[in-house]
């Protein structure tokens, strides 16, 4: 897997905004390599969101 890009998520709401944007980007591309990168980014933001909710 490639390097994950950083998405600033100081709050759960910020993570939600990034998730919406990434989901839209995923719907807008058919390139499988880019789709894999976006899915990895979504996973990273979801992990961050979960850590914020648990903290």
pLDDT digits over 21-39, tens only? 999 999 999 999 999 999 9
pLDDT at 4: 60
Dist CA 37 CA 53 (whole Å): 24
Closest CA to 45 of 26, 18, 24, 27: 18
Q: Is the pTM of this model over 0.75?
A: yes
What is the spatial distance between Cα 54 and Cα 13, in angstroms, rounded to a whole number? Answer: 14
């Amino acid at each position: 897997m490639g390097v994950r890009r950083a998405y600033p998520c100081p709050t759960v709401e910020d993570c939600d905004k990034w998730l919406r944007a990434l989901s839209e980007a995923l719907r807008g591309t058919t390139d499988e390599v880019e789709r894999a990168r976006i899915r990895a980014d979504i996973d990273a933001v979801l992990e961050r969101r979960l850590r914020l909710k648990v903290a």
